[in-house]
């Protein structure tokens, strides 16, 4: 038969249980990364666009200079041809004199169909094709006097930014197209380096800001940790209410918790009062029934036995109600060692004639989170039962590991079989009526232990008799 797997929790369900500090940190981390990536991409794009704009400004200045040279009066013959195609513009600019320097210019003549009919160029371009596309020429011709830009693969695997501008010349049926180009590879490399440095800088900045935010969040949540400690002190009985100065955001919560604690005490007190009133209200009718059934008839016998059974049940459930009310009280605690020492002294006197010695050992500062009356009833029941059936020795041990409080009561008597142990903790069973050498019924101890979120068990003692163990987990 296959096991049914637990249903998987959705992301929303899991998120609802995440701590406040972790929520803030995750939200800040996600938002910070988005801002970091978006900011780095945006700033890198702006820087790249700015460097490209500087290249285009330089190209436009080159085009304007070419246009100025070609619009002089002696620049063209009567038929529209350039007077001197060997003329070298920008002769003083070494960028245009060095072969494949990355800076180029050219002047292109067009056929009526828009094809390149001829050109003259800078020495830097050498014998490479003019860095221009038909599309760029068409855009330039469509808007004469306005520079148009595009990318073009230049010499030596360069990536050139090309500017083209058409000018109208008298005595020419087609415009001339002025070309200026510059290698944009160094600028792109600079933009890439800027992006990398920007990412490193922003990551470092974000790391510092995030670390400061973590410290700030933890510092801001300190009042909640202090509140947790104060609530634990109230639960353990070290304080009666939440006291101290809390931030304005937390103060309403502390006030409501104090009201809840006070309300709990009032409810417990009312429960005790109602239980006491009920006990007094039932005693008189039951006493009347028993008195009226003193005759020897069968009916009297039935009424008497049923009245006694009612009295037993009433006392049992009233006692259980009192125990439940006490167990639900908040902030009640009992020092264990003084209670056990007092019980040991009393039992040593009571069983002195039989030579029984009761010894208490273990943790001196152990605390029971509950009322002293409940602990006395559990421990007293176990210790008295052990003394009744011990040969000479009863050992009470206290162990407090911080996560669990354990009380053991051992004797050197005859002990119990596993079947007898199971019967010992049933309500109404008295082991001294079934097997010689045993003690009283222990159901009340079981009920009290369970009411205080603990457990009770019987086992074999190292002394040879019975070992009774009470366990109370620490929250």
User: Does residue 175 lie in a domain region?
Assistant: yes
Q: Which of 184, 204, 221 is the last residue of a domain?
A: 184
For residues 152 and 85, state if they share a domain: yes
For 19-83, give the secondary structure using H, E and C: CHHHHHHHHHHHHHHHHHHHHHHHHHHHHHHHHHHHHHHHHHHHHHHHHHHHCCHHHECCCCCEC
Top mean pLDDT of 24-28, 360-364, 448-452 is at 360-364
pTM for the whole structure: 0.48
Q: Are residues 271 and 366 in the same domain?
A: no
Q: Are residues 321 and 338 in the same domain?
A: no
Q: Is pLDDT of 439 > 50?
A: no
| Sign, CA torsion 141/144/150/156 | positive
Residues 6+ positions from 111 with CB-CB distance below 8 Å: 117, 174
Q: Is the sign of the CA dihedral 96, 98, 104, 109 positive or negative?
A: positive
Same domain, 320 and 341: no
Domain count across the chain: 3
Does 339 share its domain with 454?
A: yes
**CA quadruple 37, 38, 43, 45: dihedral positive or negative?**
positive
Residues 377 and 431 grouped into a single domain:
yes
The average confidence (pLDDT) of the chain is 80
- Per-residue model confidence (pLDDT) at position 327: 54
Q: Per the domain annotation, does 386 fall within a domain?
A: yes
Domain hosting residue 150, numbered range: 75-184
* Residues 390, 285 share a domain: no
Q: Which residue has the higher pLDDT, 299 or 8?
A: 299
Q: For the segment 313-364, what is each residue's pLDDT rounded down to a tens digit?
A: 677 666 666 665 555 555 577 889 999 999 999 999 999 999 999 999 998 8
Q: Tell me the pLDDT band of 406, cut-offs 50, 70 and 90.
A: very high
- pLDDT classification of 440: cutoffs 50, 70, 90: very low
Most confident of 10-24, 286-300, 447-461: 447-461
Q: Verify that 395 and 460 share a domain, yes or no.
A: yes
Share of the chain above pLDDT 70, in %: 82
């Amino acid at each position: 038969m296959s096991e049914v797997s637990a249903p998987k929790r959705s992301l929303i369900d899991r998120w609802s249980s995440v701590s406040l500090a972790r929520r803030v940190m995750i939200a800040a981390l996600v938002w910070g990364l988005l801002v970091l990536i978006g900011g780095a991409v945006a700033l890198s794009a702006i820087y790249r666009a700015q460097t490209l704009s500087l290249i285009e400004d330089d190209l436009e200045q080159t085009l304007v200079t070419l246009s100025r040279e070609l619009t002089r009066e002696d620049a063209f013959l009567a038929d529209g041809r350039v007077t001197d195609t060997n003329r070298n513009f920008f002769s003083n600019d070494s960028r245009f004199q060095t072969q494949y320097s990355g800076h180029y210019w050219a002047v292109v003549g067009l056929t009526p169909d828009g094809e390149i009919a001829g050109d003259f160029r800078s020495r830097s371009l050498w014998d490479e094709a003019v860095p221009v596309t038909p599309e760029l020429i068409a855009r330039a011709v469509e808007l004469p006097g306005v520079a148009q830009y595009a990318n073009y693969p230049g010499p030596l695997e360069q990536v050139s930014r090309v500017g083209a501008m058409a000018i109208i010349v008298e005595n020419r049926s087609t415009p001339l197209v002025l070309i200026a180009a510059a290698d944009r590879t160094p600028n792109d490399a600079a933009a890439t380096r800027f992006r990398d440095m920007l990412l490193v800088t922003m990551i470092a900045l974000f790391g510092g800001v995030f670390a400061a935010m973590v410290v700030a969040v933890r510092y801001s949540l300190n009042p909640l940790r202090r509140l947790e400690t104060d609530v634990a002190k109230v639960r353990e009985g070290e304080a009666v209410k939440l006291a101290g100065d809390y931030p304005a955001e937390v103060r309403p919560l502390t006030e409501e918790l104090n009201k809840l604690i006070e309300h709990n005490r009032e409810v417990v007190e009312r429960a005790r009062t109602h239980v006491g009133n009920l006990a007094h209200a039932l005693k008189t009718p039951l006493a009347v029934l028993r008195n009226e059934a003193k005759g020897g008839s069968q009916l009297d016998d039935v009424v008497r036995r049923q009245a006694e059974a009612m009295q037993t049940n009433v006392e049992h459930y009233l006692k259980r109600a009192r125990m439940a009310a006490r167990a639900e009280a908040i902030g009640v605690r009992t020092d264990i060692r003084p209670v056990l020492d007092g019980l040991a002294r009393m039992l040593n006197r009571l069983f002195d004639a039989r030579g029984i010695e009761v010894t208490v050992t273990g943790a001196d500062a152990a605390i029971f989170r509950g009322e002293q009356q409940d602990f006395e009833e559990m421990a007293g029941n176990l210790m008295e039962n052990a003394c009744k059936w011990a040969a000479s020795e009863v050992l009470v041990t206290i162990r407090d590991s911080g996560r669990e409080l354990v009380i053991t009561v051992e004797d050197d008597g005859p002990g119990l079989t596993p079947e007898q142990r199971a019967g010992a903790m049933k309500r109404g069973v008295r082991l001294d009526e079934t097997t010689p050498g045993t003690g009283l019924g222990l159901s009340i101890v079981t009920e009290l232990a369970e009411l205080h979120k603990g457990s009770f068990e019987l086992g074999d003692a190292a002394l040879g008799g019975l070992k009774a163990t009470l366990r109370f987990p620490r929250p």
